């Protein structure tokens, strides 16, 4: 994101005042990780920036991904009358949209709202990040997304009843420069536009599957990385629209094809940003004690908080042996069959890759869960268990504990575990669990294409 200090709010106000745009994009993120926003008049935004707050309908956390209002939640619902909540406009998130005449775009959260401050995903991330700061730790994170592309529009797919969407390119052809050349304007625009938005990519390439790509965002501090991830998905979708392409971040749109991941790369540094605290050259695997404790915490907490990484009914279709997605509570050195992959080449790049999240994550919640569970291991000085380490194919290891196999089981495990409350607070967990229970109850497998209709474009 384009960074500014809070003390430079006047500079942001001045930039908006000088903008030729008559309206401003403003968005917040709902519990499913979908940006919900408005086009606001310049005058309204400028007044809100001076006060620091703006009204946003309470329904933002009171409905599901398809705008069906929850009937089982306390924080928002018909019983509240859906009043306005108080959204905070974060000037640190200011970007300009190049394909919309450089229109200013700002992200907000609910850190100052009496009801929503405990359940807002972005606020949760900020709070957990502060816990790391208080321990003298600077979290550095990055997301790498896989997504499928189709020669469709929302209208054409709707008219097809979400049947047989046409892939952008045919065939299983990972790391293909040839296939990329067929749509090079689209691919180049994604790469170049993201750089212009200060969301730099380390790489972009085809994955194995029909019309599927993977992009790795360059690592940054935690809050910036999460904002970059949420904007990345929207930017890709909007650019795709311009080429009559539909980009889908659904975890598993086709059972015969690999799913789409959102691997999270993580490391901890000192507060001066000068030393990678995961690296220890005296250890045979270059792993510091801090890294081992962090890794142990993530393994320990994983089965108790899985819906934070796999939030939809469709998420669990991705966890199939031999599919490049993990199916067990496991870790390994440079092992892509495990849930957690240790990457340990040198002091600059030693990190943990969390391979459980799918592309359908809410980045704020997934990164919150990753950091909170790692800090849990540090606070409790947890040790790595020998029975979680894998040297070889984790899919063939029958001794490993398996991940829950559907959203119902995973949500039940989280609801019954005290660990979730310790990590995220009672109010957040209560609301989040209720939304996942709702999501499972909406599932009607007998309805043809239910998952495609619900998740294909929106997630």
CA geometry: angle 315, 320, 325, nearest 5 deg? 70
In a domain, 316, yes or no: yes
What's the pLDDT score for residue 112?
95
User: Which position has the higher pLDDT, 4 or 404?
Assistant: 404
The structural domain count of the chain equals: 2
Percent of the chain with pLDDT over 90: 94
| Residue 448: band (very low, low, confident or very high) from pLDDT cuts 50, 70, 90 | confident
Q: Give the model confidence (pLDDT) of 292-345 as tens digits.
A: 999 999 999 999 999 999 999 999 999 999 999 999 999 999 999 999 999 999
25: pLDDT strictly greater than 70? yes
> How much is the pLDDT for 187?
96
Cα–Cα–Cα angle for 262, 437, 429, rounded to 5 degrees? 70
Domain that residue 174 falls in? 132-455
Asked if the model's pLDDT at residue 154 lies above 50, the reply is: yes
Q: Give 378-414 pLDDT, tens digit per residue.
A: 999 999 998 999 999 999 999 999 999 999 999 999 9
- The reply to whether 109 and 153 lie within a common domain is no
Tell me: do 271 and 208 sit in the same domain. yes
Q: Tell me: pLDDT of 23 over 50.
A: yes
Q: Which residue among 115, 147, 179 closes a domain?
A: 115
Specify the pLDDT at position 29.
Answer: 98
User: Is 433 found in the same domain as 307?
Assistant: yes
Instruction: Using pLDDT thresholds of 50, 70 and 90, give the confidence band for residue 1.
Output: very low
Which has the closest alpha carbon to 60: 27, 25, 24, 23?
27
Determine the Cα–Cα distance for residues 288 and 268; give it in Å rounded to an integer: 11
Instruction: With cut-offs at 50, 70 and 90, classify the pLDDT of residue 10.
Output: confident
Write out pLDDT tens, residues 280-296.
999 999 999 999 999 99
Q: Which of 191, 183, 193 has its CA nearest to residue 244?
A: 183
9 pLDDT tier (thresholds 50, 70, 90): confident
Regarding whether 202 and 66 lie in a shared domain, the answer is no
Contact status, residue 370 vs residue 424, Cβ threshold 8 Å? no
Strands 103-109 and 84-97, how do they pair?
antiparallel
Q: Which pLDDT does position 6 carry in this prediction?
A: 45
Do 29 and 64 sit in the same domain of this protein?
Answer: yes
Is residue 195 pLDDT above 50, yes or no? yes
- Give yes or no: residues 161 and 55 share one domain: no
- Quote the tokens at residue 313: 């009914």
Do 254 and 214 lie in a common domain? Answer: yes
- The rounded distance, in Å, linking the Cα atoms of 119 and 73 is 12
Same domain, yes or no: 389 and 285: yes
Assigned domain for 121 exists: no
The pLDDT of residue 432 is above 80 = yes
Are 103 and 217 in the same domain? no
Residues forming a β-bridge with 106: 26
d(CA 251, CA 232): 16
- Please determine, for residue 142, whether its predicted confidence score (pLDDT) is greater than 60: yes
Mark whether 22 and 164 lie in a shared domain: no
Give the largest CA-CA distance in the chain: 63
Paired tokens of 189: 């625009």
| β-pair type (331-333, 262-269) | unpaired
Taking the C-alpha atoms of residue 153 and residue 295, their distance in angstroms, rounded to an integer, is 42
CATH number at residue 154: 3.30.590.10
- Residue 11: its pLDDT value, please? 85
Q: Which two tokens stand for residue 338?
A: 């495990």
- pLDDT level of residue 3 (50, 70, 90 thresholds): very low
Q: Is residue 368 part of a domain?
A: yes
User: Does residue 208 share a domain with residue 108?
Assistant: no
Q: How many residues can be counted in the chain?
A: 459
Q: Which of 62, 81, 115 is the last residue of a domain?
A: 115
**pLDDT of res. 66:** 96
Distance CA 141, CA 66 (A): 30
Name the pTM for this structure.
0.96
Is residue 439 in a domain? yes
Residue 125 in domain: no
Confidence at residue 52, expressed as pLDDT on a 0 to 100 scale = 78
Helix boundaries (H) for 37-153: 42-51, 121-134
Burial status of residue 50 (CB atoms within 10 A of its CB: 0-12, 13-18, 19 or more): exposed
Q: Are residues 38 and 174 in the same domain?
A: no
Among residues 80, 115, 150, which one ends one of the domains? 115
Residue 110 domain flag: yes
Tell me, yes or no, whether 126 lies in a domain: no
Report yes or no on 395 lying in a domain.
Answer: yes
CATH number at residue 68: 3.10.20.70
């Amino acid at each position: 994101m384009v960074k500014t200090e809070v003390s430079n709010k006047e500079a942001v106000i001045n930039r908006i005042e000088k903008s030729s745009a008559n309206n401003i994009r403003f968005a917040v993120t709902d519990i499913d990780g979908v940006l919900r926003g408005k086009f606001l008049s310049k005058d309204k935004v400028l007044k809100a920036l001076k006060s620091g707050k703006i009204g946003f309908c309470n329904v933002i956390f009171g409905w599901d991904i398809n705008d069906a209002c929850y009937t089982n939640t306390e924080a928002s619902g018909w019983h509240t009358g859906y009043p306005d909540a108080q959204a905070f406009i974060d000037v640190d998130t200011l970007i300009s949209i190049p394909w919309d005449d450089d229109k200013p775009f700002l992200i907000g959260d609910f850190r100052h709202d009496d009801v929503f401050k405990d359940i807002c995903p972005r606020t949760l991330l900020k709070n957990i990040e502060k816990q790391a700061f208080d321990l003298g730790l600077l979290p550095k994170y990055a997301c790498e997304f896989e997504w499928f592309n189709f020669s469709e529009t929302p209208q054409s797919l709707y008219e097809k009843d979400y049947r047989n969407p046409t892939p952008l390119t045919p065939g299983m052809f990972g790391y293909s420069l040839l296939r990329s050349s067929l749509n090079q304007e689209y691919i180049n625009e994604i790469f170049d536009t993201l750089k212009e938005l200060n969301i730099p990519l380390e790489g972009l390439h085809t994955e194995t599957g029909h019309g599927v790509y993977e992009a790795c965002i360059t690592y940054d501090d935690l809050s910036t990385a999460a904002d970059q991830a949420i904007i990345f998905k929207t930017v890709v979708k909007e650019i795709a629209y311009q080429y009559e392409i539909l980009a889908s971040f659904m975890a598993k749109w086709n059972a015969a094809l690999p799913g789409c991941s959102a691997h999270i790369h993580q490391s901890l540094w000192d507060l001066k940003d000068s030393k990678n605290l995961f690296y220890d050259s005296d250890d045979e695997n270059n792993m510091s004690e801090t890294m081992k404790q962090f890794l142990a915490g993530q393994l320990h907490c994983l089965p108790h908080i899985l819906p934070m990484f796999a939030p939809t009914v469709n998420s669990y279709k991705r966890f199939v042996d031999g599919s490049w997605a993990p199916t067990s509570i496991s870790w390994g050195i440079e092992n892509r069959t495990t849930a957690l992959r240790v990457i340990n080449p040198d002091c600059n790049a030693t990190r943990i890759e969390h391979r459980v999240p799918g592309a359908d994550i809410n980045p704020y919640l997934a990164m919150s869960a990753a950091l909170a569970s790692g800090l849990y291991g540090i606070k409790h000085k947890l040790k790595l268990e020998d029975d979680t380490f894998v040297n070889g194919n984790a899919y063939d290891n029958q001794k490993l504990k398996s991940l829950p196999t559907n959203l119902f089981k995973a949500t039940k495990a989280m609801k019954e575990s005290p660990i979730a409350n310790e990590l995220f607070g009672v109010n957040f967990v209560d609301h989040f669990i209720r939304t996942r229970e709702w999501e499972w109850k909406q599932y009607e497998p007998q309805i043809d294409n239910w998952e495609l209709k619900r998740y294909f474009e929106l997630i």
